[in-house]
Amino acid sequence: MTYASPTLTILHDKQAVIFDIDGTLVDSCATHLRAWQQVLAEAGVEAARDRLERLFGRHSDEWVKQLLPPERQNEGARIVRRKNEIFSGHLADLRPFPRARELLVCVKAAGKRLAFATGATKEELEHHLRLLGAEELADATAYDREVARGKPAPDIYALAATRLGVEPCDAVAVGDGLYDVMSARGAGMACVALLTGGFSARELLASGAAEVYPAVADLHNAFCAQSGRAVS
């Protein structure tokens, strides 16, 4: 399996860093999966776990397009609302990945502009920023209903770059899945990918990821090493 050298992270070469949150900074994929399993069971829709896992990173609207038969697509909005309701009931159970906040602090200390681009709802985004202690670190945010198309479309990363006041080529995205890579690349920016979304390094590199790390802690250590900061 191939990973980027810990002395070559592209984050240092860019003016801005745009982070995905779910599965990247916050350990929430299992909770999202359980919420989808519950809402689909309530709706009488069968979907294998591995099929659901392959949808991680896509916007909720894309999940229902993939999972509901054509004659039930009109139920999509209701199912997404119910899924979000189930997930919201478990927000208090979520935890940041190790070193997530420390990486954000290091990125800001290095003089980078910092944004969050997420397919989460506004409520979830606000919760996650509080959980990370990142409310004051964010120079910009973009969340699900602020764009017409969710990931893998480029809209969310493009909006975040616009709000940061940087060209996409001067920003780098950090995400945990194929659809973060596709979205960022479509917006014209490089993407650093993490394995915490369940996709393999081979898949992520083949989709155009500039670098791949096992988890945010490894990216933190690489960034600190290149910054000359102590890594403990």
141: β partners: 116
Same domain flag for 48 and 163: no
Domain boundary among 75, 92, 109: 92
For residue 174, the one-letter residue type is: V
Interacting residues of 37 by C-beta distance below 8 A, sequence separation 6+: 49, 52
pLDDT score at 3 = 52
Q: Are residues 58 and 171 in the same domain?
A: no
- pLDDT, residue 226, reads 73
**Least confident residue range of 49-63, 110-124, 125-139:** 49-63
According to DSSP, residue 116 is labeled E
Measured distance CA(191)–CA(184) in Å, rounded: 6
- What are the C-alpha distances in Å from 51 to residues 21, 56, 60, 67? 22, 10, 14, 9
Question: What is the value of pTM for the model shown?
Answer: 0.89
Q: Which of 100, 135, 129 is nearest to 24 (CA)?
A: 100
Give the 3-state secondary structure of residue 194: strand
Q: Residue 135, Cβ neighbours under 10 Å: how many?
A: 10
Q: 135 and 78 in one domain?
A: no
Nearest to 93 by CA among 49, 128, 57: 128
Q: Which residues contact 44 (CB under 8 A, 6 or more apart)?
A: none
Give pLDDT, residue 2. 45
Q: How confident is the model at residue 82 (pLDDT cuts 50, 70, 90)?
A: very high
Tens-place pLDDT, residues 185-221:
999 999 999 999 989 999 999 999 999 999 999 999 9
Indicate if 193 and 131 belong to the same structural domain: yes
Report the domain count for the chain.
2
Domain that holds residue 101: 10-28+95-227
